[in-house]
């Protein structure tokens, strides 16, 4: 069952100096389950050795009291994974935990390293043996190869050899190191719980454990936490901030604070802008749950049209369910969404979603709303058309599969079978972000902040103009080098 969405990437969590380090990490991962449901892991440290519990599935499926009690020590790091690199296998699950000449080391990464193939090839030529297909493992190898005596310097030396997006936690016996790439693609925040330091991808993890939000880890910052306290370093060349705008559009939880703003507030502002730019005569505004809910609230409020939860989402669909032997029409969508006929019948409906990727799910949802008796369906999307793939830690289909990369809005309207279709403009989106230049918007305009490889395993950079990017797709990833 394809969700037909850009997929959330990963969540990280770390704690130093707390008697319930593993339990807090479990809760921190639980709060961030939306960022990855394929595998989850916790590694703890008691100051001498590491303890690890890692498995495939969701946090509540993997951990129990027994397992948590085996994770001894006052420090722990954890990771939820949705694969952006490497297939779903236990060997790709994180945190990576190894023993090397300096003792135990564990690492958890949210993001994607765009020069991973080249660095890995070089390391393999020099004799390194990899146990996973995951790009994050190269950082472990680079740390292990460094001759620097201090872990902090080994980490800095390793990270200065990689390019791309990373929010990362690294743990030795007695030290926690937190690093965020110079562009700050993915979110990463710091909190306190009594004397303990806490780090998480999203602040919703702090709320669950009553930790106090202190600040974001800055782009390019390396934070070292040990028994002497916290020290901050900025060892890398400064780069423009390029936070992933899709975190606001879809990925992050509405109750989180990221990139200096509340997700709910920004997401609602997208909906309000959408209503201002693209008004329509209608009887009700219905979100595609859950992704379109907050933007639909903004749209309804601005347009003065009643908001209705006209589609109900089943939140309890597991990764495996038994499909009927006899084919049921649109089963994949129906298992997750069901319309409320009384709210829809005879109505002119504004259907709001955050984005359209392939368009196949949107088309089925439109059909479902029509079958429930809608007189008209007007689709409104709270982001611009997604025309390019992501290389910075978000799982996206190849560009050729993105419907907006190939087809016009008018064509997509026909494909979806709606009376009207409109996307939030780029200007509208940037206006809702106070015209800040601090955002990556590459999946909308193809202007990649860091040059990306053209295809898997191929490191030559294709120097093309924006006009070239709009040329017919040849099946390869097209990139614009800025």
Footprint of ligand SF4 on 387-446 (CB under 6 A): 390, 392, 394, 440-443
Nearest residue to 199 (alpha-carbon basis) of 207, 209, 212, 189: 189
Choose the stretch contacting ligand SF4; rule: CB under 6 A; options: 92-100, 195-203, 239-247, 276-284: 239-247
| Structure token digits, residue 304 | 């003065």
* DSSP calls for 178-194: EEE-TT--S--EEEEET
Cβ distance to ligand SF4 smaller for residue 5 or 152: 5
CA distance 200 to 179: 12
Residue 204 annotated as catalytic: no
- Which position has the token pair 């090839």? 121
Which member of 82, 246, 299, 307 binds ligand SF4 (CB under 6 A)? 246
Q: Does position 450 bind ligand SF4 by CB under 6 A? A: no
Burial class (CB in 10 A: 0-12, 13-18, 19+), 476: middle
Q: Does position 156 bind ligand SF4 by CB under 6 A? A: no
Choose the stretch contacting ligand SF4; rule: CB under 6 A; options: 117-125, 173-181, 312-320, 386-394: 386-394
Minimum CB separation of residue 231 from ligand SF4 in Å reads 29
How many residues sit close enough to ligand SF4 to count as binding (CB under 6 A)?
11
| Structure token digits, residue 36 | 């990855």
Nearest residue to 316 (alpha-carbon basis) of 295, 296, 338, 297: 338
Choose the stretch contacting ligand SF4; rule: CB under 6 A; options: 195-203, 218-226, 242-250, 278-286: 242-250
Footprint of ligand SF4 on 178-197 (CB under 6 A): 185
Q: Does position 244 bind ligand SF4 by CB under 6 A? A: yes
Minimum CB separation of residue 290 from ligand SF4 in Å reads 18
Cβ–Cβ < 8 Å for 13, 190: no
- The interface mask with ligand SF4, positions 19-58, x = CB under 6 A, is ----------------------------------------
Query: Max CA-CA distance within the chain?
Result: 72
Cβ distance to ligand SF4 smaller for residue 185 or 259: 185
Burial class (CB in 10 A: 0-12, 13-18, 19+), 460: exposed
Cβ–Cβ < 8 Å for 259, 220: no
What H or E segment, with its residue span, contains residue 166? Answer: strand 164-171
In DSSP terms, 226 is beta-bridged to 229
Please identify which of the residues 10, 244, 390, 440 carries the catalytic annotation. 10
> Which positions are catalytic?
10
Residues binding ligand SF4 (CB under 6 A): 185, 244-246, 390, 392, 394, 440-443
């Amino acid at each position: 069952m394809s969700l037909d969405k850009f997929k959330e990437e990963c969540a990280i969590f770390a704690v130093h100096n707390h008697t319930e380090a593993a339990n807090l990490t479990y809760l921190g991962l639980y709060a961030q389950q939306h960022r990855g449901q394929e595998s989850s892991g916790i590694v703890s440290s008691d100051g001498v050795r590491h303890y690890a519990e890692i498995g495939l599935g969701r946090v509540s499926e993997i951990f129990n009291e027994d397992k948590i009690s085996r994770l001894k020590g006052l420090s722990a790091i954890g990771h939820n994974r949705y694969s952006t690199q490497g297939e779903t296998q236990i060997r790709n699950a994180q945190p990576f935990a190894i023993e090397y000449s300096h003792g135990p080391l564990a690492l958890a990464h949210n993001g994607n390293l765009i020069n991973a193939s080249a660095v890995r090839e070089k390391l393999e030529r020099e004799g390194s043996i990899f146990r996973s297909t995951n790009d994050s493992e190269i950082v472990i190898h680079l740390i292990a190869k460094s001759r620097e005596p201090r872990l902090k310097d080994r980490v800095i030396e390793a990270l200065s050899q990689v390019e791309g997006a990373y929010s990362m936690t690294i743990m030795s016996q007695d030290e926690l190191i937190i690093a965020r790439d110079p562009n700050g693609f993915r979110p990463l925040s710091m909190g306190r719980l009594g004397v303990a330091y806490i780090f998480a991808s999203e602040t919703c993890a702090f709320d669950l454990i009553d930790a106090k939000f202190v600040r974001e880890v800055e782009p390019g910052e390396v934070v070292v936490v040990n028994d002497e306290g916290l020290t901050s370093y900025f060892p890398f060349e400064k780069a423009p901030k390029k936070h992933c705008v899709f975190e606001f559009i879809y990925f992050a939880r509405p109750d989180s604070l990221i990139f200096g703003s509340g997700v709910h507030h920004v997401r609602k502002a997208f909906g309000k802008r959408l209503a201002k730019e693209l008004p329509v005569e209608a009887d009700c505004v219905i979100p595609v749950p859950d992704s379109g809910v907050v933007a639909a609230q903004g749209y309804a409020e601005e347009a003065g049209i009643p908001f209705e939860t006209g589609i109900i989402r089943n939140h309890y669909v597991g990764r495996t369910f038994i499909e009927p032997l006899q084919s049921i029409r649109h089963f994949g969508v129906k298992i997750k969404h069901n319309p409320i006929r009384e709210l829809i019948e005879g109505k002119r409906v504004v259907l709001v979603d955050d984005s359209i990727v392939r368009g196949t799910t949107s088309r089925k949802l439109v059909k479902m709303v029509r079958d429930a008796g809608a007189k008209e369906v007007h689709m409104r999307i709270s982001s611009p058309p997604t025309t390019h793939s992501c290389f910075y830690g978000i799982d996206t289909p190849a560009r050729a599969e993105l419907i907006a990369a190939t087809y016009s809005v008018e064509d997509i309207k026909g494909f979806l079978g709606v009376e009207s279709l409109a996307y939030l403009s780029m200007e509208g989106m940037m206006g809702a972000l106070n015209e800040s230049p601090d955002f990556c918007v590459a999946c909308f305009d193809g202007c990649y902040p860091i040059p990306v490889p053209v295809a898997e395993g191929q490191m030559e950079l294709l120097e093309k103009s924006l006009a070239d990017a709009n040329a017919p797709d040849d099946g390869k990833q097209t990139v614009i080098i800025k």
